[in-house]
Amino acid sequence: MKRITINDYKDIQPQAETVLVLGYFDGIHLGHKALLDRAREMANQRGLTVSVLTFPESPRLAFARFSPDLLRHLTSAERRYQLFEEYGVDQLYLMDFTSQFAATTPQEFINQYVKALKASVVVVGFDYHFGNSRATVADFKELFDGEVEVVGEVQLQGEKVSSTRIRKAIQDGRVHEANQLLGYPFETRGIVVHGDARGRTIGYPTANLAPLDAVHLPADGVYVADVAIAGKRYRAMASVGKNVTFDGTELRLEAHIFGFERYIYGETITIYWLEKIRDMIKFDGIDALMTQMKEDEQLALTWKDHD
């Protein structure tokens, strides 16, 4: 897959006719996959490539009052690029959503971007909006002289699959549901750093993680997780939150990796969040904490995926 960063339509280089997918993809979920699958299917039928025009950051940055959450994603940029490639994209065009771009009229967008990208077919979701008037897919069909393929709503358990729904699931700790909606495990990548080394003294050494990507973290709690280290995957129990039993005040992200004893400070590892075990609890002392951790360990080691 070719990844091409452009500032505006003037940077678009001539290319062969293509099937063009439009939208903002914050973590490529099952709804987004449906768009990309349909584009790939149509491209194969016609002997065309698949192109995507999208934005690396949320368009809301150009409109809404800033909050740090606006820069956080469901999936890291590199993982999103991998998924685009896995799902059959040949050319990925990335452009910042700026005030200047936001002022583009619907017809200008089609003339300057869609036609410049040689789109013979455009694939969009049913709720796609574009241009400074937030034109709809019906408007797109009127203004564009090529073919427009509209992909309907994708549902899971009777509700629409959306980034908003996934974000809420993650923030509530419902990571298993988030994984089902994404179609792959929600993950956090980071560098292993030194912590308090308290876990080692109670028989549960942990890898403390400094997250590398602007990705949402799950709700505070203890989770069943898998951890990838140097290409190998291990079962773990991971926690997010403050060590309230020890009066901790800093947010910590750590994982106890079963059957793993090597020091890995400075290495980059990935936590795959599988299911929440429990909330963070303030225990009366070490003995109560140890009893609970043994129960957590049993749950984590025997956990199997379910629908």
Q: What's the pTM value of the predicted model, to 2 decimals?
A: 0.92
Residues sharing a CB contact under 8 Å with residue 111, sequence separation 6 or more, in sequence order: none
pLDDT score recorded for residue 246? 45
Do 104 and 202 lie in one domain? The reply is no
Q: How many domains does the chain have?
A: 2
pLDDT, tens digit, 9 for 90 and up, residues 87-129: 999 999 999 999 999 999 999 999 999 999 999 999 999 999 9
Q: Taking 60 as the threshold, does the pLDDT of residue 285 lie above it? A: yes
Do 228 and 150 lie in one domain? The reply is no
Q: Where are the alpha helices (DSSP H) in 117-202?
A: 137-143, 163-171, 175-182, 198-201
Beta-bridge partner residues of 196: none
CATH number at residue 210: 2.40.30.30
Domain annotation covers residue 176: no
Helix (H) or strand (E) holding 217: none
Which of 131-135, 240-244, 255-259, 261-265 is predicted with the least confidence, judged by mean pLDDT? 240-244
| For residues 16-26, average pLDDT | 97
Do 144 and 8 lie in one domain? The reply is yes
The whole domain housing 123 covers 2-160
Question: Do residues 20 and 123 lie in contact, with contact meaning Cβ atoms separated by under 8 Å?
Answer: yes
**pLDDT, averaged across the chain:** 93
Q: Taking 80 as the threshold, does the pLDDT of residue 233 lie above it? A: yes
Percent of the chain with pLDDT over 70: 95
Q: In whole angstroms, give the CA distance from residue 87 to residue 295.
A: 40
Domain annotation covers residue 256: yes
CATH number at residue 93: 3.40.50.620
pLDDT score recorded for residue 117? 98
Do 191 and 294 lie in one domain? The reply is yes
Do 156 and 194 lie in one domain? The reply is no
User: Domain end: 160, 178, 209, which one?
Assistant: 160
Q: In whole angstroms, give the CA distance from residue 130 to residue 221.
A: 40
Residues sharing a CB contact under 8 Å with residue 24, sequence separation 6 or more, in sequence order: 54, 55, 58, 59, 97
Percent of the chain with pLDDT over 90: 86
Domain annotation covers residue 174: no
pLDDT, tens digit, 9 for 90 and up, residues 173-217: 999 999 999 999 999 999 999 987 555 555 688 999 999 999 999
